[in-house]
Amino acid sequence: MMSKATQLLTPIKVQDSMEANKPDTATRILDVAERLFVEHGFEATSLRMITQQAEVNLAAVNYHFGSKDALFESVFMRRIGPFVAACLAELDTLEQSGQALTAEQLVVSFIRPCLALSKDPARGGALFVRLMSRTLVENHRLLREALNQQYSIFVQRYTSAFQRALPQFGAEDIAWRMHFAFSVMFNAFAGNDVLKIFVRSQVVTARDPDMIVKHLVPFVVAGLTAPI
């Protein structure tokens, strides 16, 4: 048994044979778990649902990942790293130009990776954004600590970038506006519309990612740059 420890260190395991067109067991579990966790949440998703749909044995989850909690962590970590890296790469490119950045450029640097994610089924499509929004609300303690340690750089980079882009605002105002901005951006891509609780929203059901961006950018930029 080599998996429980090493799997976490090499989470992005490529499909190493073409003899069957199915991905290997661990990947199949990750894919199904990702979808079911998004659909029903962590607690409401049983290992039996996952293993059945993934067509693997029930014990395979504990063999490959150690526990249901560890499986969730693996599901999440498989996506978060590349996503954060993509955002930071956008920031790098912008800052290398040497020119002063606008709020709109910063907004787009976050939205572009979201958009790429939404359009690429191989990277989980829109699932990961929805998984993040569920995770945010479900408040997995263990996951939070891991993310705090690994990815706080994400917020730091954006914070200082926004402080330079909006020098007229103090640090506290910037924090509030980023809070609002990322909140609306994330929920837009996750498809979380409060109004859809009350009526069948035509906005959210027809979810062309490009349409989201088209309407989202002006809204967020205006909110960020509005005089106090």
Partner DNA sequence: ATGACTTTAGAACAAGCGTTTGAAACTTAC
Partner DNA sequence: GTAAGTTTCAAACGCTTGTTCTAAAGTCAT
Looking at the Cβ atoms of 16 and 210, the one nearer to DNA is: 16
Where does this chain bind DNA (CB under 7 A)?
1-3, 24-25, 45-49, 56-64, 67-69
Where does this chain bind a copy of itself (CB under 8 A)?
41, 43-44, 132-138, 144, 147-148, 151-152, 154-156, 172-173, 175-180, 182-184, 186-188, 192-204, 215-216, 218-228
Angle, CA 142 vertex, CA 139 and CA 144 arms, to 5°: 55
Q: Which helix (H) or strand (E) holds 75?
A: helix 68-96
Gyration radius of the chain over CA positions: 19
Looking at the Cβ atoms of 22 and 164, the one nearer to a copy of itself is: 164
Looking at the Cβ atoms of 64 and 177, the one nearer to DNA is: 64
Binding site partner of 167, from a copy of itself, DNA, none, Cβ cut-off 5-8 A by kind: none
Looking at the Cβ atoms of 16 and 208, the one nearer to DNA is: 16
Q: What does the H/E/C string look like for 79-138?
A: HHHHHHHHHHHHHHHHHHCCCCCCHHHHHHHHHHHHHHHHHCHHHCCCHHHHHHHHHHHH
State the virtual CA torsion across 204, 206, 208, 214 in degrees, nearest 10: -60
From CA 185, how far away is CA 191, in angstroms rounded? 10
Binding site partner of 24, from DNA, a copy of itself, none, Cβ cut-off 5-8 A by kind: DNA
Looking at the Cβ atoms of 63 and 186, the one nearer to a copy of itself is: 186
From CA 23, how far away is CA 14, in angstroms rounded? 8
Binding site partner of 1, from DNA, a copy of itself, none, Cβ cut-off 5-8 A by kind: DNA
Cβ atoms of 73 and 142 within 8 Å: the answer is yes
Binding site partner of 59, from DNA, a copy of itself, none, Cβ cut-off 5-8 A by kind: DNA
| Residue 6 beta carbon to a copy of itself: minimum distance, rounded to whole angstroms | 26
Binding site partner of 115, from DNA, a copy of itself, none, Cβ cut-off 5-8 A by kind: none
Looking at the Cβ atoms of 28 and 76, the one nearer to a copy of itself is: 76
| Residue 117 beta carbon to DNA: minimum distance, rounded to whole angstroms | 27
Those residues whose C-beta lies under 8 Å from the C-beta of residue 211, and which sit 6 or more positions away, are: none
| Residue 189 beta carbon to DNA: minimum distance, rounded to whole angstroms | 28
Binding site partner of 106, from a copy of itself, DNA, none, Cβ cut-off 5-8 A by kind: none
User: Is residue 140 exposed (0-12), middle (13-18) or buried (19+ Cβ within 10 Å)?
Assistant: middle
